[in-house]
Every structure is written in structure tokens, then in C-alpha cells.
Amino acid sequence: MTPEHVLSNKIRIWCGEHNWLCFHINVGKIRMSDGTYFNTGVPVGWPDLTIITDTGQVLFIETKIKPRKPTDDQINMLNNLRGRGFIAEVVYEFSEFLALITPFLALISSINEKVCTKTL
């Protein structure tokens, strides 16, 4: 298992423990035994992890281990997703992921409190 997979798995485990959905989506084509290609269906540069929080917010995370850097396609995709209002970031360590989502967790907590207050 590569160090990037270890990082991705730590994030996936954290998400599962917090009732968030986390999908690792592979990008690319696979050559089939008959010589044809199977396309995974997502565009080149798609981030490693697509995360859906328990309140329906969506985050996109590209995992890297230094000294590796995102490709131009990955940078362009992250910028495209940010331009659409999503959180879309590169993380090199699990602590960076936690730092990224900490302000987000406060927002989710605030939303949950308002929902609980309205339902009472």
C-alpha cells in the first residue's frame, strides 16, 4: 500500500466514524482482455476522495505525500470545483485534513443546532 493510500484510508476511516460518506474514485482507462478500453467515467484530474457530510455538504480532497505534487489536470479540476463553491483541496498529511475541516465542523454543528431547535 502506498503512503497516499494510507493517508486516503485514514481520511476514509475518520469520515465513516463521523457518519460522512467518503468515496475513493479512480480516474483513467483500463485495457480489457479483448483489447478495448473501459473508461472509469470521471474526468481526468478528478480528486481522490469525494466526501459527503452528514448534512449534505460535499468536499473534494486530493491526497499527496511530499514531495509529490498535483498534476496540472488535478489543479485545474480543483480550481473548477472551487469555482462552483465546493471545498476542494490538496492534503499532504492527516493533520491538514483535520485543520481543513475544523471550521467546517463548527458550521455543521451550528446547522444541526438550528435544525434541532426548529423540530422541538
pLDDT for res 51:
97
Amino acid occupying residue 62 = E
User: 56, exposed or middle or buried, with CB in 10 Å at 0-12, 13-18, 19+?
Assistant: exposed
pLDDT for res 55:
84
Amino acid occupying residue 28 = G
pLDDT for res 114:
62
pLDDT for res 81:
97
Q: Output the CA torsion 69→67→18→84 (10° steps).
A: -20
How do the pLDDT tens digits run along the chain, 120 residues long? Answer: 899 999 999 999 999 999 999 999 888 788 899 999 888 788 899 999 999 998 888 999 999 999 999 999 999 999 999 999 999 999 999 999 999 998 877 666 666 666 555 555
pLDDT for res 40:
77
Of 113, 96, 92, 14, the residue nearest 48 (C-alpha): 92
Q: Which domains does the chain have, with CATH numbers?
A: 3-119 (3.40.1350.10)
Q: pTM, whole model, 2 decimals? A: 0.81
pLDDT for res 85:
95
Amino acid occupying residue 8 = S
pLDDT for res 115:
58
Query: Residue 38 is inside which H or E element, if any?
Result: strand 37-39
Q: Which residue has the cell 451550528?
A: 110
